[in-house]
Amino acid sequence: MVMLDNLQLLFVWAPIINVQVILEGIFVGAVFALSAYGLALVWGVMNIKNLAQGDFVIMGGYLALALSSANVPLPLILIIVIVFMFVYGWGIYALMIRRILDQDMFVSLLATFGLSLLMQQVMNLVFGPEVQTIDMELPNWDFFDNMVTIPSSKVISLGLAAVIALTVVIFMKKSRAGQAIRATAQDPRAARVLGIDTDKVYAFTFALNSALCGAAGVLVSIIWVIQPFYGITYSVRSFAIVTAAGLGNLPGVITAAFGIGLFEKYVGMIIGTAYEVAAPVSILLMVLIWRQISMKRNRQVVR
Amino acid sequence: MKMRALMTVAGVCALATASAITPAVAKVDGDTIILGSSISLTGKYATNGLHTQRGYDFAVKTINDAGGVKVDGKSYKLAVTYYDDESTPARGAQLAERLIQQDGVQYMLGPYSSGMTKAIAPVSEKFGVPMVEAEGASRSLFTQGYKYLFAVLSTSEQYLATAVDMAAEERKKNFRDPSEVRVAMAFEGDPFSMDVRAGVVDKLNEYGMKIIIDDQLPADLSDMSTTLTKVKALKPDILIISGHSKGAATAARQIDEMKVNVPMIAMTHCEAAKVHEKFPKAATGFLCPTQWVETLSKSDSMFGSAGEWNTNFKKAYPSYTSVPYQSAQASAAVYVWKEAFEAANSLDKDAVRDAIAAVEMETFYGDIKFSENGNNIAKPMFMRQIGSDASYSLVESFKDMTFPRNVSY
Amino acid sequence: MIKKNTLITYGGLALFGVFGPIIFPDYTLSIAYLWMMVLMASTWDILGGQMGYNSLGNITFFGAGMYISAIVQVTMFYDGGMAEYTSAMGSIKPEFTDSEYFSGLYLGIICAGIGALLLSLIFSTFMFGLRGPYFAIGSLGLAIAAAELTITMDYVGGASGISMPLFPGEIEFRSTFFYILCFILAALAHFLLRWLYSTQFGLAINAIRDDEDKAEAMGIPTLIYKQIGWGIAAFFMGCIGAIAGNMAGFIDKEVAYPIPTFGIFMVAMVLLGGKGTLWGPVIGAIIFHVIKETTWTYLLNLQWVALGLILIINIVYFQQGLMGWLQTKYPEMFGIVVDESQKTSKSEAK
């Protein structure tokens, strides 16, 4: 059976390729960790479930593409995209999100789905439906007699993701704005009473999420390909990660992201590539089921 | 409750008004013959849907500029009514019915992709409306006994089979048994790619070659690293990939990144994905099947030689550096219609259908002659190899090939 | 004791249903899809509007039903078996007699419905412990997983899909036939729901929506009601899926599991018309379908943009949907009595 062959390949014949599989899982996880963290922020602070998360990522990717064809260097691209997406996120908040804040939880899902549809189609109209990518022509390193290769672009993306994540964490912990956000998340009314402008906090949080997704998008366009309709894949993965990790738990989100990335690659390797998209989705279901079982013992449900 | 009644009536009125506003377009509008096409302008086939539409439009324009179609002493212009099928077969079938029933179209041009054609062909067949298609290569389209379906392109099982032949040739040249060849393949999980795979598997079984990797790639996945990791570990003699433009682009990028070195690599959709432009180093040595090459020594009185069609098409659409064959075959399909109208000297769809069936013509695209089942039996699939200078050169047999693929990353 | 206005409404719809395809024969398939949408919206609302469980994955049953029906239709009269039929990738064209085809079709539809129902019971064991957004996302995950896993199964054609047996008969007859099936199924579902909502079932599921914990505390077996509700939805989705598969003529992942389109449309339609009402989904479906058909023709490149905008505007500014808005503006029409004395205190609390 094919599965047996794959298992033998991994552990008997060429165990060195485990290194490659693990690396791929980590690279995948790193990019998703960013967008998952943004989703966790928005969900935890504002109780908005943003189905358009993936489309924000793709939008960031397209911006990067446009800038790259104008020969803007990578670090500058990242900064420009982050700033642009931040402003864009603020705008979306003002136009749309503000009004659905106090509503039924499901409303946010559907409204953001409408947003997702809109963004996808506009990107399709502007950039065309072709699959696109940025080739930075960076070197690829190989190890172990070419059995393991690491494209420097993926390492850079991993590094950048780490830097961004770290910046956000420090910001949330140390800065006043970060504290305001956390206060609002814990108890919006109390925060308001204490003089925090919760509307601004929400706007900022949403804009921050948008910026994080944009940054993830830049990385995606460098290491993979983008297309206007790929957003949903990223949205589903982000949801899977956040559900697995729980809200407001950054180390959890990162671990979950890497975990899911690794799971995906190993499933692809052992059971078959045909299952690589079903893998993160299955994790989502399994986590939810697990939660249910553990909560049932306390006669509770997963809310 | 009055409200409900009111609203139901309103709904009916809305539909009625909509039907009144919809212009009923007859098959012939004054001196214009209307062809109809459900084409993918959005969705996953949008890239190639666009190439196809441009091919149709270019041919229509060229033919109209050259005087149009002459039937029964009168000159007619051609025009095409398009609807976006959103790359959804159910929608395509619905739109085909709308074209035929509401818009009165009697002459159809095919959609993009076998999946769409499979959904639409039964519709045009049932209405007895001839359809000349240029983008549905699945061989199962031509085992259905359709009388009104005609395809100008070579069918799917021919796509990569030639690559297998060349691998076999290489072995024979070295006095080895072709069955020694170890094959790795990755196909996208959609009906067309599966058809290509079926053709490849048939060939492999013919030679008794061994399949060591057989991966099905999900349509939403843009990462082939798992497959390529296995390839590097198992070291096959030939790597075969088919996954539309997305598959080709992803494969080329990751072959580059992972420094994959297999002696022979064959994949479809190289030109559509522009791999020679985007990943010139990795794409070196790729064997790419194509329905058509611009260096083909075929020509016709309308478009000139293959090269001339190519030049003129690029002038009309300057964004192309290398014109995808999807556009060429689309133009050929329109050309078949012109020839058929003139040969039948009538606008009656059945007379024209018979004329299409009897067509035997040389075009810039290649020779066209339809079998009883509607597929083009006069034109073979051509194999090209990407050179280190990012150019495509025709490979007609193993001796024309650069083997093994030697890329220093 | 049926109200006069209700009779008028049903009469109007029945007339339209019966005579629509006769007066506008070119639109037969389009109206058939309309009834399909009405059914999808109405069944979604059982869980979504009436019970408060927003499912993004009801389309799973649509696809499952489609495949189940295909299996039944092929295996009943084709001796070679399903695996052989699907691996031939459409080149095997079995000759069914008329009675074979239709009996296969009817049996297929029923099996599809029952099969989907059984699946929903299986899924309900692990899905109903989830609430609110988790149920929504979980159901979406279910749909995606179903789609991805179905195409790995060679028995049902894998990624190559299944060519459905050919319809015996002329094309007009075919369109009319499937139209009638869709119309009957939609009507059946509607009347079933109309009756169901007037029984204790309706009260119970509304109680679950309003406060599930209290309902449980009061002794309502919530899980059973949830299972019945989802089961009914699954049954009808399975049946309509079987019909849709035959209408399409060819089944593959995109036809069976149109998650980003129909999967979400059914939710949008209900929201448009008004959640939690009997007629809301119906009206929403009608309006949505009409808008979609007109924008598709006239706004060729922008139709999705228009749809996205409509969705956003509807949700952000117009949430109760049409029925909800009407209920607020003309409550007398719906037999709702507004207690004037409550009004002032409400505005103070704001």
In chain B, what are the domains? 5-154+294-378 (3.40.50.2300), 158-290+383-400 (3.40.50.2300)
Query: Which whole number is the average pLDDT over C305-334?
Result: 75
**C-alpha dist (Å) from residue C26 to A25, A182, B94, C243:** 53, 59, 11, 20
User: Could you tell me which of B99, B110, B94, B116 has the C-alpha nearest to residue B44?
Assistant: B116
CB contact under 8 A, C33 and B93: no
The residues that bridge with B367 in the sheet, in sequence order, are B362
CB contact under 8 A, B22 and C8: no
Q: How far apart are the first and last CA of chain A?
A: 42
Residue B126 phi/psi, 5-degree rounding, is -65, -35
CB contact under 8 A, A288 and C133: no
Strands B304-305 and B299-300: antiparallel
Of B65-79, B103-117, B159-173, C3-17, which range is least confident? C3-17
Residue B101 phi/psi, 5-degree rounding, is -85, -50
* pLDDT of C245 higher than 90: yes
* pLDDT of B22 higher than 70: no
Return the CATH number of C28-317, one of 1.10.10, 1.10.1740, 3.40.630, 1.10.3470.
1.10.3470
Interface of C with B in 292-321 (CB under 8 A): 293-294, 296-297, 300-301, 303-304
Rounded to a whole number of angstroms, the distance from the CA of A292 to the nearest CA of chain C is: 6
Q: Which residue of B has its CA nearest to A135?
A: B278
Q: Which residue of A has its CA nearest to B188?
A: A274
* pLDDT of C342 higher than 70: no
Mark A108-131 as b/e (b = at least 16 C-beta within 10 Å): bbbbbbbbbbbbbbbbbeebebbb
Residue C130 phi/psi, 5-degree rounding, is -95, 145
* pLDDT of B1 higher than 80: no
Q: The whole model's pTM is what? A: 0.83
Domains in chain A: boundaries: 23-298
* pLDDT of C260 higher than 90: no
Q: Would you say the C-alpha torsion A229, A233, A235, A238 has a positive or negative sign? A: negative
Helix, strand, coil tally for chain C in percent (to 5): 80, 0, 20
CB contact under 8 A, A233 and B223: no
Name C169's Cβ contacts closer than 8 Å, sequence gap at least 6: C98, C177
**C-alpha dist (Å) from residue A93 to A87, A101, A125, A210, A234:** 10, 10, 23, 10, 21
Q: Would you say the C-alpha torsion A63, A68, A74, A75 has a positive or negative sign? A: negative
Q: What is the mean pLDDT of chain C?
A: 85
Number of A/B CB contacts below 8 angstroms equals 116
What is the reported pLDDT for A212? 92
What does the pLDDT look like over B126-153, one tens digit per residue?
Answer: 899 999 999 988 887 888 789 999 999 9
**Cβ atoms within 10 Å, residue C152:** 17
Along the 303 residues of chain A, how does pLDDT read in single tens digits?
678 888 888 888 888 888 889 998 998 888 888 889 899 888 888 888 888 999 999 999 999 999 988 888 888 999 999 999 999 999 999 988 888 887 776 777 778 888 888 898 888 888 877 788 887 777 888 888 778 888 888 888 888 888 988 888 888 888 888 888 888 888 888 888 888 888 889 999 999 999 999 999 999 888 888 888 888 888 888 888 888 887 767 788 888 999 999 999 999 889 988 888 888 888 888 888 888 788 777 766 666
Residue C90 phi/psi, 5-degree rounding, is 95, -10
Interface of B with C in 188-207 (CB under 8 A): 188-191, 193-195, 198
SS3 string, A104-130, reads CHHHHHHHHHHHHHHHHHHHHHHHCCC
Token pair listed for A2:
């094919």
Neighbours of chain C (3+ CB pairs under 8 A): A, B
The residues that bridge with B173 in the sheet, in sequence order, are none
Domains in chain C: boundaries: 28-317, 320-350
What value, to the nearest 5°, has the Cα angle with vertex B134 and ends B296 and B33?
Answer: 110
* Max CA pair span of chain C: 74
B82 SS3 class: strand
User: Could you tell me which of C316, C236, C324, C313 has the C-alpha nearest to residue C284?
Assistant: C324
Which residue intervals of C78-221 are DSSP H helices? 82-87, 98-127, 132-150, 171-198, 200-210, 212-217
Neighbours of chain B (3+ CB pairs under 8 A): A, C
User: Could you tell me which of B106, B149, B111 has the C-alpha nearest to residue B129?
Assistant: B106
Rounded to a whole number of angstroms, the distance from the CA of B301 to the nearest CA of chain A is: 34
Question: CA A64, CA A79: separation in Å to the nearest integer?
Answer: 10
Residue type present at position B309:
W
Token pair listed for C344:
């002032």
Mark B352-382 as b/e (b = at least 16 C-beta within 10 Å): bbbbbbebebebbbbebebeebbbbebbebb
The verdict on B11 touching C (C-beta cutoff 8 Å) is yes
Higher pLDDT, C67 or A143: C67
* pLDDT of B21 higher than 50: no
Number of B/C CB contacts below 8 angstroms equals 146
* pLDDT of C338 higher than 80: no
Token pair listed for B65:
């500029």
8 A C-beta contact, residue C41 and residue C282: yes
What is the reported pLDDT for C126? 86
The residues that bridge with B188 in the sheet, in sequence order, are B217
CB contact under 8 A, B90 and C8: no
Helices and strands counted in chain B (H then E): 14, 18
